[in-house]
Amino acid sequence: MTTVSEIRAKLAEGQPTLGSWLQVPSATVAEIMGRAEYDWVAVDLEHGSLTVRDLPNMFRALEAGSTVPFARVARIDKKDIKQALDAGAKGIIFPMVESAEELELAISWSLYPPKGRRGVGYSRANLYGKNFDAYVQEDAEATIFVAQIEDIAAVRVLEDILQVQGLAAIIVGPYDLSGSIGLTAQFDHPEFVKMLDTIQQAARRHQIPMGLHIVQPDKELLRSKIAEGYQFVAYGTDAVFLYNACECPVI
C-alpha cells in the first residue's frame, strides 16, 4: 500500500508522484480507481457531485486498493476541511489559493492545537477514538497539504505562498489559470506557457514541488511534463476516463 511517507519521500527526492481525480459519487468507481495503481486519488468536492456523506465509503474503497485518499475541498472553509479530514483524508488540496494568509489559515484549520486550530473530536480518521492519541500526535506528518494555483492573483504573490510552513506541493489548475488571463484552455498560448515557466522557476527557488492536472488523458503529455520537472501530477478524472472509453465507435 502506498503511504503518505512514501509520497513525501518521492517529492523530497525530486521524483514524480502520480494521482488521479474522482468526481462521480460512487464507491464502486472509487474501488476501481483505487486499484489502478495511482499513488493517490483526490475526491473532488469542488466540482464533483459529492457530499461529505460520500467520503467515508469513497475513502474506504480507495484504501482497499492501496491508494492514499485525498480530498479537494470545495472551498477554503473551516467546516469543509475538518469534515474531509475527519472522514479520513490523508491529503487536502486547497482550491483557488490566492494569498499566503489564506493558505496559512487553511493549514491552521487542518492541524490540531497547539500547531493549529482544527476542531478536536472522535471521527473515522482516529477510529472513533480508538486511535485518538496516536492520530493527534502524528497529524502534521500524516497529512499532505497542497495549494492549487488557479488565478493570476496567486501568481503575483506566489513567492509568499511558497514560503508558507506545512506546504508540501503546489498544483496548477490549468483551466482556471488560463481563464484568469482570458485564455481559457489555450494551453499552448505563449502567455500561458510563460506563466507556467514563472511558476515553475519560483517553485524551484523555494524547493516546493510543482504539479499539474492533466485533465484529458495524454500519455505523451504526461511523460513530457514529468521530464520538465512536474512532480505532483493528477492524471485524468473518473468521468473523463469513462466517456473517452465508452464513446460510440464510428462504423
Does the pLDDT value for residue 238 go beyond 80? yes
Peptide bond into 114 cis (omega under 30): yes
Single out the residue of 171, 175, 160 nearest to residue 103, CA to CA: 160
pLDDT band per the 50, 70, 90 thresholds, residue 204: very high
Q: Would you call 189 a catalytic residue per the annotation?
A: no
**How far is residue 54 CA from its own chain's centroid?**
18
Q: Domain extents for the chain?
A: 4-246
Q: What does the pLDDT read at residue 141? A: 80
- Residue 6 has a pLDDT of 96
Give the span between the Cα atoms of 148 and 94, in whole angstroms.
6
> Do 106 and 78 touch, CB atoms closer than 8 A?
no
CA distance 118 to 93: 16
Whether the CB-CB separation of 43 and 20 falls below 8 Å is answered with no
The catalytic residue among 47, 189, 206, 213 is 47
Query: Among residues of the chain, what percentage have pLDDT more than 70?
Result: 100
pLDDT in tens, 91-104: 999 999 999 999 99
Give the H or E element holding residue 43. strand 40-44
What is the per-residue pLDDT across 130-172, written as a single tens digit (0 to 9) for each?
A: 999 999 988 768 899 999 999 999 999 999 999 999 999 999 9
Range 173-177 average pLDDT:
95
Alpha-carbon span 103 to 153, nearest angstrom: 14
Cβ neighbours for 12, distance < 8 A, ≥ 6 positions apart: none
- Give me Rg for the CA atoms of the chain: 18
The cell for 29 is: 468507481
Read off the amino acid at residue 99: S
Question: In this structure, which CATH number among 3.40.50.300, 3.90.1150.10, 3.30.300.30, 3.20.20.60 belongs to the domain 4-246?
Answer: 3.20.20.60
pLDDT of residue 78: 96
Q: Take residue 199 and report the three cell numbers written for it.
A: 511558476
Q: What is the pLDDT of residue 138?
A: 85
Question: What global pTM score does this model have?
Answer: 0.95
